Amino acid sequence: MGIYLRCDDRLAAAQNGLMKAQSLRGWRLSLAFAIIAIVGLQAQAQWPRIAPLDTLFRVQDATHPDVKTFIKSPTGKPIYLLICRQSDDHAAPRDVNYSGDLDCHLMSAELGEVEENLLLEDHRLSAWYSRGRMFAQHLRGACAAYPEYGLLRHFRLRAMQISMEFKGAVFSPSGKLRSYQMRFTVVPDSTARRDIAEISGYLDPDRRVPGRSCAKVTRGDEWRN
């Protein structure tokens, strides 16, 4: 009889141990899911909420663009500042650099106009080297149709999606850009979590790399190490 009792005790102990192990694994799994959920919520909540924006800038003189607006919160508080200037705009602060026929910089509104650009895709880049920079050749021909570097460009960052669309470009007989319009739109996007713009997915056709041209659309990560 004692032998059977000892066997039963061992079986009960084994079953008890198995239940504890299963309970521990279940607890760990629940904890893991909880952590993932918390991280996901934090990622969505780390950026301030913004109100949708849709505005059209009419640049009557391409040599003197006047493009400036705020992206605001739903209550009207300025959150981000967008300023676009030409490369030789003497009204810009001395320590802020612009490039091209139009160079759009996005920065925190509380900082004012500084050498910062949230439209960059890599933190190592200079503020003027983003897809917010436009040259006249981008507005016509094959370059106009090149995804994310031509007439239409998208930027996903900080729980929002920004779109820049150029239209109505007018050129002189010599090919000089005279005037154009730029539509600037912003919509909330909780899936956009980077602090700067996400990678566009297309290579820069203007970059001085053999084989690059607007005639050949090439996908890729321009700033991958």
Residue 202 lies in a domain: no
Residue 30 lies in a domain: no
Residue 80 lies in a domain: yes
Q: What is the mean pLDDT of residues 11-32?
A: 54
- How long, in residues, is the chain? 225
> Whose CA is closest to 158, among 128, 120, 132?
120
Q: Which helix (H) or strand (E) holds 68?
A: strand 67-72
Binned at pLDDT 50, 70 and 90, residue 33 comes out as very low
Query: Contact 162/185 with Cβ under 8 angstroms?
Result: yes
Model pLDDT for residues 45-77, shown as the tens digit of each residue: 589 999 999 999 999 999 999 899 999 999 999
Count of domains observed in the chain:
1
Residue 108 lies in a domain: yes
Residue 126 lies in a domain: yes
Can you tell me the distance from the alpha carbon of 84 to that of 48, in angstroms, rounded to the nearest whole number?
23
Residue 40 lies in a domain: no
pTM for the model: 0.79
| pLDDT for the residue 8 | 54
Judge whether residue 148 has pLDDT over 90.
yes
Q: Which helix (H) or strand (E) holds 15?
A: helix 2-45
Model pLDDT for residues 75-98, shown as the tens digit of each residue: 999 999 999 999 989 889 999 999
Expressed as residue numbers, the domain containing 92 is 53-188
